[in-house]
A and B are shown apart, each in its own frame.
Chain A
Amino acid sequence: MTGRYHAPFAEHGSHTIDADIANRLLRIALQKGGDYADLFFEYSVSGGYVYDEQILKSATRAVSMGLGVRVMKGDATGYAYCEDFSFDAMKQAAETAAQIAAGGRPIAPVDVSMRDMPSRYPVSAESLDVEGEAKKTILERADRAARASDARVVRVDASFAESVREVLIANSLGHMAHDRQPLIRFGIRVIAEDGGNRQSGSSGGGGRMGLEYFDDQTPEWHAEQAVQQALVMLDAREAPAGEMDVVLAPGDSGILLHEAVGHGLEADFNRKKTSNYSGRVGQEVASALCTVVDDASLQGSRGSINVDDEGQLPTRSVLIEDGVLKGYMQDRHSADFFGISSDGHGRRQSFRSHPMPRMTNTMLLGGQDAPEDVIRSVSRGVYAKKFGGGQVDISNGDFVFSLTEGYLIENGKVTAPLKGVNLIGNGPEAMRNVVNLGHDFQVSDGIWTCGKEGQSVPVGVGCPTIKIASMTVGGTQVAGG
C-alpha cells in the first residue's frame, strides 16, 4: 500500500472489516425480521485549493468516515449510521436500523465473498498523494495565462478540488465489494470589464484521473476558454423571447438530456408512478433519431463507477433505443419491484444517506449530420454553447436551463452573443422535436454534480450537436419577427 490516506476498514487498517465481521453485523441487522440488509463503509478525503488575487489564498482538507447500515422490510427502509468503527458503535447502528422490521422471522444472510471488479479509473498517482506545490503551479499557470491574454480581464480566480472515496459494501445477498474512487475538478473564473460593462466567464473540467488530466487540457487552455467567454459576453445583447429552433453544442449540452429525460427514467419515480415515463416501456418516447444510454464504464469520466453503492456492478444501460423506451435505471429496491435485477444505479452521497437510483454518465448518441449543416438549416434560432445548470419537474417533465454562453442564429449563421438566455420546455416533447443529430458526439469535460432529494453525486453527460425544433427561449426581447 502506498499513499497517505487509507480507510481504517481496509486490509491492514486499524479496524479491518473482514467477511466474518460483515457477516456478524448483517446477522444483527436482520435479527428483527428484515428481508435485506447492507453495510456501507466509507472513508473519504477531499482537498481544495483556491488561487485568488495572484496568491494561493486558501487550502482545505476534509476527512469523513463512517458506516451506514440499511435494513429493508418490503418497501420500508430502516437506516442508521455511526462515525467510528468500534464493534459496539457498528452493532448499535445495525440494531437501530433493524427496528424497521418489528416481527417476522429472521432470515439468515448469505455469507459474503469479495467481488471481482472492473477498473475504470486510469490514475497513475492519486492527486492527494502529489505534493501541494504541483497543484499550486497548475493554478498559477491558469491565473497567469488569463491575465496575460487581455487587458480587460480584471479578476481571475482558479480552484482545484481533489478527493478519494474508499468504500466497502457488504450485503445480505452475499456480495462484498471494495472500491477506491478518485476524482479531480479544476475551475477558473474571470471577470472582464469594458467601460461600465462587466461580465464573467468560466471554464473547468476533470474526472476520475490524476494530474495527467492537464497534459491534454492545459490550465492555459481553460484560461483562454474562460477569457473568451467573458469577452464575448461583453458584446452580448438581450436575448429574444418566444418559440424558436434551438441548436445545442456537443458535449456539455448533455446536461439538458440529463434533466429532461434522465431523471424521469430513474426507476424509483416509475415504481411510484410519479414520473411521466411510468408504464411506457416499449412505447415511442422520442424522435426515432434518439438513442440514450447511461454508461458507468467510461474510462476516467466523472460519472464512472466500478461498483454502485449497493455492491452491484453497473455497465452500459440502454434507456431509449431509436426513440423507443427500453427500461429504467434501477437500484435494488426498484429492481425488486419490477422483478428484475438491479443494473447498478444505486448511489448515495455518503454513508449518511440511503441509496436511490441515480445516473452515472448519461448520453445521447451521435447521428449522421454534419454540425455545420445543422446550423445552416436554421433561419432564426438560438445556438446553446455552454450551460449553467438546469432543473426538472419529474412529474410532468417540464424543465428549465440557463445558458452561460449562447448565440443568435440568423439565416443559417451563428451571429450575436446573447445574455440571460433560458430554455424552457417539456422533456418528452423536446425529445420528440429532435430533428437533427450531428456526427460529432462528445463527452462533457467533468464538471457536473447532480442533486436529488438533498443528495449530491458526480455525474457525466455527453451528446452530439442537436437541433430541437421549436423550444421556448426565455429572453427579454419581445420581438415582432
Chain B
Amino acid sequence: MSKAEEEARALIDLGRSVVDRAIEGGADVAEAGAHSGSHLSVKVRMGEPELVEEAGSRALGLRVMIGQRVATTHTSDLSDAGQRTLIEDALELARLSESDEFAGPPDPSELSSSSQWADLETFDEAISQISADEALARALRGERAAFDSDPRITNSEGASFTRARGVSVLVTSGGFAGSDYGTYASIVVNPVADDEDGKKRSGYHWSASRHYADLEDSRGVGEEAARRTIAQLGARKLPTQELPVIFDKDAARSILGLFAGCVLGGAIWRKSSYLVDRVGTRVASDLVNIVDDPLLPRAPGSRAFDGEGLLSRRNVVVESGMLKTYLMDTYSARKLDLKSTASASRSPSGGVSPSSSNLILRASSQSRDELIADTKHGLYVTGMMGFGFNAVTGDFSRGASGFLIQDGELSHPVSEVTISLNLDQLLQRIDAVADDLDQRTAIASPTFRVSSMTLAGS
C-alpha cells in the first residue's frame, strides 16, 4: 500500500509541524489530526445517469491546551496562511477558555505504538480503482434488477454507487504518531411502487463493504429492494393495543443505537442518560450480550488505536443482561473516577469524545422465521421513523412500519402506527434473539422480540 503510506507520511510531517508550532506559540499540549481522502459517487435514475461526482479533499484539525484550558480548530485551507490561522485561533480560544481540572491528554505510558497495532484489513486498493463507468454500470444493474423483478415497481428514486478512500493521522505532543487507512464501497437501490389509495410506497436495500470483493452483487441488492417495496403495498393502521413486537435486524440495530448513545461516558457524567449509576445492575434480559469490538477485521467501525492513541480493545458492555462498563475516553473516565476503555473518537473538527466502534448485540441460535412462528399475535417491525427518544429518562416512542403477525405468520403490512415503551423496560423484555447478525454496520444486532409494547394506531 505504498501510495497510501507515502500519503500518511506526508500527513504525519504536516501534523508534526503544526504540533511543534502550536507548542512554540505557547500551548502546553497540542494534538493534530490530518486527513486526506477522495471519493466517487454516482447516481442513476430510470436507466439514465443522473450524477457523477468526484473529488479529493484534505483537512487539518488541532486541539491545544494551555494549562487545562482547551480549544479546538479545524480547516480545509492547508496553505501557509490557513495553517497560521488554525494555530493562532486555537491559541487565542484556549486563552478565552477556563481551566477544567479534568482536562488533559492521556498519560504517555498509556499510548500505543505501531508494533502493537493489528492489521484490521480496512483498506482495499481495488476500491480506489473503480472508474465512473464501472460505478454507473453497477448502479444501473441494481436499478434494472428492481424493475425486472416485479411489474408493480413503477418508479424509482434511483440507485447510487459510492466509493471512498481515506488516510488519517494523529500526531500529539505527548509522543504519539499513528495512521489509519480506510476504503469503503456501497450501493443502494431505491424503487417506488404505486399503492391502491393513490399513495406511493418507497423502499430500499443496500450493501456496503471495506473490500470490493465483499460487496453484494447489484442484482441481489436491486431484487431485495423491490421485494421490500412491494411488501408494503396495502399497508394500513392497526387498532391501539398492547402486543409483542419483533424488531427485524435493521430496526433492532436502531434500538441498539439508542442504547449506544446512553452507555457513553460523556452522557453518564452529564447525567444525560438513563444508565447513570447502573454498572453492575440488570439493564436487559439475560438473553442480551453486547460487546464493543474495534478489532474485527474488515468491519466498518474497526480501529487499531483510539482517538487519543490508546491501544484498541474489546469491551464487554452487557453480559447476560448485566451492565459491565461504560465506554469512555480519558476525559469522561476522569470525570467518573474510572479508567479509559480506549473508546475515544476524534471528530474531524478536532474535538475528542467517547464513541462505540463496532457495537454488537450477540446472535443466538434461533432463526428469524422460528421467532415469527413462535409468535401468535404481534407486530413485525421493519422500519422506524422520527426521533422520539429521551436519553435522560429512556422514554421511547417512534413511528413504525412492518407487518402484522397472525398465528405465527406475517400477515398484512402495517404503517402509520407508533410503538412505545421505556428503553430500560424494552431491553429487559427481550424474550428471544435470532441468529441473523451481519456486519454491514458499526452498530449491529440480530432480529429480536420484545414481549409486550404499546402500539398506538386507530
Contact = CB atoms under 8 A, between A and B. Distances in A.
A289 B455 CA distance: 32
Interface string B269-284: 0111000100000000
Contact of A274 (B48, B77, B192): B192
A393 B157 CA distance: 12
Contact of A474 (B73, B389, B397): B397
B409 interface: no
B17 interface: no
A151 B340 CA distance: 33
Given A77-B50, A272-B157, A420-B388, A60 B97 contact: no
B227 interface: no
Given A155-B271, A424-B456, A78 B52 contact: yes
A81 B416 contact: no
Contacts of B10: none
Contact of B395 (A53, A60, A354, A420): A420
Given A82-B55, A93-B55, A395-B202, A60 B418 contact: no
Interface in B401-458: 401, 415-421, 454-458
B53 A80 contact: yes
Nearest to A242: B240
Interface residues of B, number: 83
Given A198-B271, A198-B392, A99 B57 contact: no
Contacts of A425: 416
Interface string B245-284: 0000000000000000000000000111000100000000
A76 B50 contact: yes
A63 B86 contact: yes
Interface string B179-207: 00000000000001001001111100000
Contacts of B85: 63
Nearest to B241: A478
Given A474-B397, A474-B420, A60 B79 contact: no
B153 interface: no
Contact of A424 (B92, B157, B392, B418): B418
A401 B398 CA distance: 8
A81 B399 CA distance: 38
Nearest to B154: A273
B54 interface: yes
Interface string B295-307: 0000000000000
B55 A274 contact: no
A433 B120 CA distance: 55
A76 B399 contact: no
B274 to A, nearest CB: 8
B386 A242 contact: no
Contacts of A388: 387-388
Given A136-B96, A154-B271, A77 B388 contact: no
A124 interface: no
Interface string B75-118: 11111011001100110111011111000000000000000000
Given A199-B393, A398-B399, A472-B416, A59 B386 contact: no
Interface residues of A, number: 79
A133 B98 CA distance: 11
Contacts of A57: 70, 97-98, 100
Given A93-B55, A198-B392, A424-B456, A474 B399 contact: yes
B96 A55 contact: no
B45 interface: yes
A77 B158 CA distance: 14
A400 interface: yes
A241 interface: yes
A398 B54 contact: no
B234 interface: no
Contacts of A60: 71-74, 93, 349-351
Contacts of B399: 391, 398-400, 422, 424, 474
A241 B271 contact: no
B242 interface: yes
A402 interface: yes
Given A93-B55, A424-B418, A425-B416, 14 more contacts: A57-B100, A59-B94, A61-B71, A64-B76, A76-B51, A78-B53, A79-B51, A99-B52, A239-B397, A354-B51, A389-B386, A422-B399, A473-B456, A474-B420
11 contacts: A57-B98, A59-B70, A61-B93, A62-B73, A78-B51, A239-B397, A242-B456, A243-B458, A396-B415, A420-B388, A475-B420
Interface of B: 45, 48-55, 57-58, 70-79, 81-82, 85-86, 89-90, 92-94, 96-100, 132, 155-157, 192, 195, 198-202, 237, 240-242, 270-272, 276, 349-351, 385-390, 392-393, 395-399, 401, 415-421, 454-458
